[in-house]
Amino acid sequence: MARNFFGTDGIRGTVGQAPITPDFVLRLGHAVGRVLKRSHDKPLVLIGKDTRISGYMLEAALEAGLNSAGASVMLLGPLPTPGVAYLTRAQRAQLGVVISASHNPYPDNGIKFFSAQGNKLPDDWEEAVEAAMQEAPQWVNAAELGKAQRLDDAAGRYIEFCKSTFANDLSLHGLKIVVDAAHGAAYHIAPKVFHELGAEVLAIGCQPNGLNINDQVGATHPDALARAVRANHADYGVALDGDADRLLMVDAQGRIFNGDELLYLMVQDRLQQGQRVPGAVGTLMTNMAVELALRQQGVEFVRAKVGDRYVLEQLHAKGWQLGGEGSGHLLALDKHSTGDGLISALQVLQACVRSGKTLVQLLQGLQLFPQELINVRLHPEQDWQNSPALQTVQAQARQALADRGRVLIRASGTEPLLRIMVEAQDAAQARHWAQQLADSLRT
């Protein structure tokens, strides 16, 4: 069955436009409640959200829809996406719901779901919900309506969980850390986590007003963090996105470290501790230098499709623990069931404290390859997949790059664009072949 509403990460769009409207969310909540009732007599659903002003409206509609189908609701208030996943498991709830559009600007919002185990739900569950939405509503009678309550200490419980993933014999004493929560869901949580582990904390991006989430701050705009780290002579900077499942970090010199580098560092730290790391998962966009460096150390590397959902699927299939994306979605499945920006930051800082080394020193064995990306606008009906000119240049590029570079060509999912990426040890070579590939489609 084709899904009409669910994408790779739940349902997302612009508030006030289908499907992010209160009437749709009411129907969605009712359909979700009906699906849950098939296997649970009195299902409990946890609802968390980020700091967008539209969260109030969508939360109320979702709550009403769930209650109308006989499902009870526990409201968590503003809480990071991974915090909702954790509490869903800890509270023995049947479902967790997050109202957030992650790194998008405030006019957007979305809804995503977690299973009772804190994992993202499979396609067949989403298909069952969409099928239920096509049916007439079946309102339960007054005696069977679900109830609603608020979990007042949700933030405190999640703070303690994050701290529990940091080594008991280590602390952050003596470190000055700038924390940027993107005016998002971790604004009241992230500074406390690092402070309670001993760091001196300076907070930016922690004054949400409903309209400023991800606005020139956070993981999508790390320059603000880099400036703050340098200005305050801090040791490290931590940047999260609006729902705090994404992480970028900054060192004392203001250098920004992306998810590819942080994933490599996390693997290295495990190896240094004598732990077995059979493999790690990246995506089609993960820098080739990471793959080569890990394989030199006997760590297998597998690429998933772009999206943390697909990284997670590969980790489960392989039975591995570590994976991530360059954008900062990082997974350590022995610490949490889903990607968590705060827990990933603690894993990186733990490695720095334990070794007494800086991020640059820990990453000496990794030199990222230059990447050249060109977007080519396609003509209507242009069949790029069967273009002889493109195929010829592509074969030439792959032969020239051999095993020290790669070509990735993929269509945009939202625009009539072809994204051409060439990666090579030599930046000029990457630029040359990317331009050659692009020109082959323009002639």
End-to-end CA distance of the chain: 39
Tokens of 65: 């829809």
**Of 219, 187, 213, residue with least CA distance to 78:** 187
* Rounded Cα distance, 370 and 422, in Å: 8
**What is the three-class DSSP state of 11?**
strand
Cβ-proximal residues to 348 (8 Å cutoff; 6+ apart), any chain: 249, 262, 265, 266, 359
Active-site position among 54, 102, 115, 337: 102
**Of 361, 352, 374, 354, residue with least CA distance to 423:** 374
Owner of token pair 């402070």: 195
Q: Indicate the length of the chain as a whole number.
A: 443
**Of 177, 360, 197, 167, residue with least CA distance to 273:** 167
* Rounded Cα distance, 325 and 173, in Å: 30
Amino acid at 256: I
Q: Is 72 a catalytic residue?
A: no
Quick one: angle between helices 154-164 and 341-355, nearest 10? 30
Instruction: Describe the strand order of the beta sheet including 417-424 as a list of residue ranges.
Output: 371-377, 417-424, 405-411
Active site amino acids: 102
